Amino acid sequence: MARLSDFKALCFDVYGTLIDWETGILTNLRPILGTNTDFSREKLLDVIHECERSQQAITPDLKYHELLTTIHPQIAEKLGLPKPSSEQSKAFGASVGNWPAFPDSVEALKRLGQHYKLVVLSNVDRESFSRSNSGPLKGTKFDLVITAQDVGSYKPNLNNFEYMIREVNEKFSVPKDQILQTAQSQFHDHHPAKQVGIRSSWIVRPGAVMGNRSDTVYDWKFDTLGEMADAVEAELKAPSA
């Protein structure tokens, strides 16, 4: 496939690509940080990612909001902070649905949805995604939503991608060579997508820390989803070669 517009389905990571995962989770970590300014953004995100990845391996079937509740005291311990109350940890886990969307997400999805099936492959649970979709994503219509809760494992587990490939083929008769993984995280999305034979579009979200790898893999690269939508529309308007 030489053109973006040749694909039939876009498979989205949500948190980090459509929703500003980093801002959302750091904002909701502030209650345990208090006035402490000793930690850089990178340090906080590294600790969160380390705790999250370890817990996902231990309890792959745990709902994401429950997983965040579980790792909240672990994060505090690694940072040398006082142990949070159970109420604080539950609030941290419940915050997912309030994390903000990137400013271009909703409009870009609307434009892309005119040409593609829009598929979600997310590491959160169904309840958290539903709250994000009805809130920050303003009721965007997705053709298929698959969460870690549905699969029983978390990305970058290849099971999640293979599950998605089967579902997209069964529901829309779209084979995997017509699916384009569209995501920010190299760790969670681009590398495993390549392993299962899916091409990908890297939405960089400049300044993002989570999921970055030095060995980047991708077929297309854009700073924002809005820029990708522009590129698709430009292809569709261009005369065929």
Could you tell me the pTM of the whole model? 0.95
CATH of residue 15: 3.40.50.1000
**Where in the sequence is the domain holding 60, given as residue range(s)?**
22-97
Residues 78 and 107 in one domain: no
| Dist. CA 185–CA 182, nearest whole Å | 9
The catalytically annotated residue of 13, 20, 125, 189 is 13
Contacts by 192-199 with C-beta closer than 8 Å and gap 24+? 192/155, 192/156, 192/157, 192/158, 192/160, 192/161, 193/161, 195/158, 195/161, 196/158, 196/161, 196/162, 196/165, 198/11, 198/161, 198/165, 199/1, 199/7
Residues 125 and 222 in one domain: yes
Please give the pLDDT value at position 192: 98
Please give the pLDDT value at position 2: 81
Residues 139 and 200 in one domain: yes
Mean pLDDT, 10 residues at a time, over the chain (241 residues)? 92 98 97 92 96 97 97 97 97 98 98 98 98 98 98 97 98 98 98 98 96 95 98 90 52
Residues 203 and 120 in one domain: yes
Q: How many domains, the chain?
A: 2
Please give the pLDDT value at position 213: 92
Q: State which amino acid sits at residue 13.
A: D
Residues 151 and 213 in one domain: yes
Name the DSSP letter for residue 10: E
pLDDT 10s digits, 140-159: 999 999 999 999 999 999 99
Please give the pLDDT value at position 241: 52
Residue 46 falls in the annotated catalytic set: no
Indicate the residue among 34, 64, 97 that finishes a domain: 97
Residues 175 and 73 in one domain: no
Please return the burial class of 231, using the count of CB atoms within 10 Å of its CB with bins 0-12, 13-18 and 19+. middle
Residues 162 and 204 in one domain: yes
pLDDT 10s digits, 13-53: 999 999 999 999 999 999 999 888 899 999 999 999 999 99
Residues 147 and 220 in one domain: yes
Residues 91 and 153 in one domain: no
Please give the pLDDT value at position 36: 87
Residues 169 and 205 in one domain: yes
